């Protein structure tokens, strides 16, 4: 059975920038598990090969965690004008990509580090939800809140597809 690493990341104190954590908590609920403190950044060892590792930002040390997984999904928010769908899903490959600020890595850069350091490349995806309000606060905008469930559906479809693949083997 494939091992999954879901990495929701963002700033939960900047409204829609924390949408990934809402998605992770909703996924945990859909899987029939109890959501711990809804105010904390969610991290769960769900079992059956599924780990959710909530982070404020991506760091080089993540390369080792990626190397130990078969499938990785980075979950984040994007801004209007990015040219992406409201719920954007994309397979990515490793490449060093500059970011606007020096203390943040892009998912592609973490994957490139994984490849360089561990000679391993998990299947890696980005799931990004459109954010419209990045002001201070803990609540999502109504637009981002409406996109949580479709994002969870996308993750459930991925998990179901791999479960069916495992059953067929």
Nearest to 75 by CA among 24, 141, 150: 24
**Cα dihedral sign, 45-131-137-11:** positive
DSSP strands (E only) in 16-94: 43-47, 50-53, 71-78, 87-92
pLDDT for res 42: 78
117 near 52, Cβ under 8 Å? no
Q: What is the pTM of this model?
A: 0.91
pLDDT for res 168: 46
pLDDT for res 101: 55
pLDDT tens for the chain, 169 residues long, are 689 999 999 999 999 999 999 999 999 999 988 887 777 777 888 888 999 999 999 999 999 999 999 999 999 999 998 899 999 999 999 987 665 555 578 999 999 999 999 999 999 999 999 999 999 999 999 999 999 999 999 999 999 987 765 554 4
pLDDT for res 159: 92
pLDDT for res 165: 57
For helices 142-168 and 19-30, angle between their N-to-C axes, nearest 10 degrees: 50
pLDDT for res 40: 76
């Amino acid at each position: 059975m494939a091992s999954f690493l879901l990495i929701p990341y963002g700033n939960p104190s900047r409204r829609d920038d924390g949408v990934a954590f809402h998605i992770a908590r909703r996924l945990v609920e859909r899987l029939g598990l109890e959501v711990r403190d809804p105010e904390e950044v969610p991290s769960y060892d769900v079992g059956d090969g599924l780990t959710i590792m909530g982070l404020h930002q991506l760091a080089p040390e993540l390369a080792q965690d990626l190397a130990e997984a078969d499938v990785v999904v980075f979950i984040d928010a994007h801004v209007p004008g990015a040219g992406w769908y409201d719920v954007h899903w994309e397979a990515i490959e490793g490449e060093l990509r500059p970011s606007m600020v020096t203390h943040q890595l892009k998912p592609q850069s973490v994957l490139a580090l994984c490849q360089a350091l561990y000679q391993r490349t998990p299947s890696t995806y980005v799931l990004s939800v459109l954010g419209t309000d990045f002001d201070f606060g803990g609540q999502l905008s109504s637009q981002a809140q409406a996109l949580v469930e479709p994002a969870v559906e996308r993750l459930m479809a991925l998990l179901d597809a791999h479960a069916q693949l495992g059953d067929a083997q």
